[in-house]
Amino acid sequence: MLGHNIIKDDEIDILLEDIYQRYGYDFMQYSRASIKRRINRIMTNDRFASFAELRFALKDNTEFLQHFIEEITVNLTEMFRDPLFFKQLREEVLPQLGTYPLIRIWVAGCSSGEEAYSIAILLKEAHILHKSLIYATDINPRVLEIAKKGIYPLRHIKSFSESYIESGGKEDFSNYYTANYDWVKFNAELKQKMILSAHNLVSDTSFNSFQLIICRNVLIYFNKELQERVFHLFDASLENLGYLALGSKETIRFSGIQHNYTAIGDQKIWKKLYPL
Ligand SMILES: C[S@@+](CC[C@H](N)C(=O)[O-])C[C@H]1O[C@@H](n2cnc3c(N)ncnc32)[C@H](O)[C@@H]1O
């Protein structure tokens, strides 16, 4: 029976169309290879014997839909992920942002919030947290609930702390949280300037104008067409001379907005120029 749960391309089309029609979530422009891998994973782990069974489970079962969305959207994250990226933010972007009276930052696809808390720490250390607003958004309300609490497993802290130091952090990392048994809770001060809300990059529009947009490790799951839509959304949401930051495997090269941006450094950060 090897391979009995390998879903076919036309079955993926049917499933994604069902989900769109029934629940309004549009995954049709996600990268097909990744969607296929994730659906096959669900079929194996949740022991579906056939595509028909999976399709049936997704009908009128919002709890299973939630599980399905979580599998498809991949919520993996960590604090100070790619520490050199955060170092470049500290050294080259924050001094510029510090010249504004109010700094608006959008962390799109923030998952459970580790990236947004890392940014808050950077802003605090640059003495500009008090005049910043961090809009952290994700498609998945469940991960946003974790972000709101700011409570993470203690077992991750050693690696977060090492990345913090590698990013140029000079404080004692434990000053930023309180440990309680197997969990740590990050200081309320860090989330005071954070606005966490649901936003879908596929279907929602721009909601503000920002000086820095960070969207890392999200576009890798989208096909080229959807990436292009999101780049235009970011471009429309970014002030002139604002910064756009992507993940290590993502780029605006070959996109329709690239001509108006210049790369600063080697950590996937671009600066928006005045339009020609
Ligand atoms: C791999 S995580 C990246 C988290 C964080 N940015 C990082 O780099 O560590 C991808 C996140 O993108 C979110 N995501 C996927 N599709 C999305 C969409 N259409 N709109 C908004 N967020 C989305 C997922 O829910 C997930 O939390």
**Residue 155: which of 129, 121, 182 has the closest Cα?**
182
pLDDT at 1 over 50: no
- Give CA–CA dist 124/50, Å, rounded: 52
- Dihedral sign for Cα 160, 117, 38, 36, please: negative
Mean pLDDT of the region 202-206: 96
| CATH 3.40.50.150 boundaries in the chain | 83-272
- Summarised one tens digit per residue, pLDDT across range 31-48 is 999 999 999 999 999 999
CATH class for the region spanning 83-272: alpha beta
Arithmetic mean of pLDDT, 121-149: 97
Average pLDDT, the chain: 95
Residue-wise pLDDT for 226-264, tens only, equals 999 999 999 999 999 999 999 999 999 999 999 999 999
pLDDT band at 5 (very low <50, low <70, confident <90, very high): low
Q: Specify the pTM.
A: 0.96
Ligand 1: lining residues by beta carbon, under 6 Å: 73-77, 81, 109-111, 115, 138-140, 143, 200-202, 216-218, 247
Nearest C-alpha to atom 14 of ligand 1 is from which residue? 109
Distance between Cα 107 and ligand 1 center (Å): 10
Closest Cα to atom 24 of ligand 1: 73
Closest ligand 1 atom to Cα of 215: 6
Sign of CA dihedral 170, 147, 269, 213: negative
